Chain A
Amino acid sequence: QVQLVESGGGVVRPGRSLRLSCAASGFTFSGYTMHWVRQAPGKGLEWLAVIAYDGSYIFYADSVKGRFTISRDNSKNTVYLQMSNLRGEDAALYYCARRGSDAYNPYFDHWGQGTLVTVSS
């Protein structure tokens, strides 16, 4: 069965960096586009970034563009989110999600359980 397991969250000071990982299993990872989505405490879902199955395209939400970098290693079945210059508003539960098969009408057919990032001095 499809599994996505995020890791790397923790407590970090403002202005510092953190790298999140999402380990995938149960499917052919190299064939799927992957996303990162976050949810601040008590708030809604916010889409952050997408990376194509082969890394050929990458897009970011304006809120993280220039600070966050999405990447993947298909040999390790893992997608990453490098976060730099973290701010208080970046505190959230970070999910990775797999894109469904329709490239034009987006949907996320599997989600991980999330990894929590706390930004505090």
Chain B
Amino acid sequence: SSELTQDPAVSVALGQTVRITCQGDSLRVYYASWYQQKPGQAPILVIYGQNHRPSGIPDRFSGSNSGTTASLTIAGTQAEDEADYYCNSRDSSGNHVFGAGTKVTVL
């Protein structure tokens, strides 16, 4: 079982804000990174570190961290944001681990 817990699914109305959370004890020590994956495509990095976006990622994506919870927020959600989102960090042994993913549906 994953040491990072994500809600399986969330829905959001077009143009509204959605927050996806990732919980795990290791998040007290390490920042999470976040990946977007659309059907049939490889994952892409959307947020890393304290709250950094790679080049090309829209500024409607942001990240935050509090205690054992990391969050990915999409403000003004667009239809193209419909995807699976995975968090990643280190586990208790220092190795890498992914959350099980959150499916975001845009209504």
Contacts and interface: CB of A to CB of B under 8 A. Distances in A.
B100 to A, nearest CB: 5
A113 B48 contact: no
Interface residues on A, range: 20 to 34
Interface string A82-121: 0000000000000100001010111111111110000000
B96 A35 contact: yes
11 contacts: A44-B99, A44-B100, A45-B88, A104-B30, A105-B30, A105-B48, A106-B30, A106-B89, A108-B33, A108-B43, A111-B43
Q: Which 4 pairs from chain A and chain B are nearest by CB?
A: A107-B33, A107-B48, A47-B96, A105-B31
B97 interface: yes
Contacts of A59: 94-95
Given A59-B94, A100-B33, A107-B88, 13 more contacts: A37-B98, A44-B84, A59-B95, A61-B95, A95-B42, A102-B48, A105-B31, A105-B49, A109-B54, A110-B45, A111-B42, A111-B43, A114-B42
B45 A108 contact: yes
Contacts of A61: 95
Interface of B: 2, 30-31, 33, 35, 37, 42-45, 48-49, 54, 84, 86, 88-90, 94-101
B42 A44 contact: no
Nearest to B54: A109
B42 A45 contact: no
Interface of A: 35, 37, 44-47, 50, 59, 61, 95, 100, 102, 104-114
A45 B95 contact: no
Nearest to A104: B30
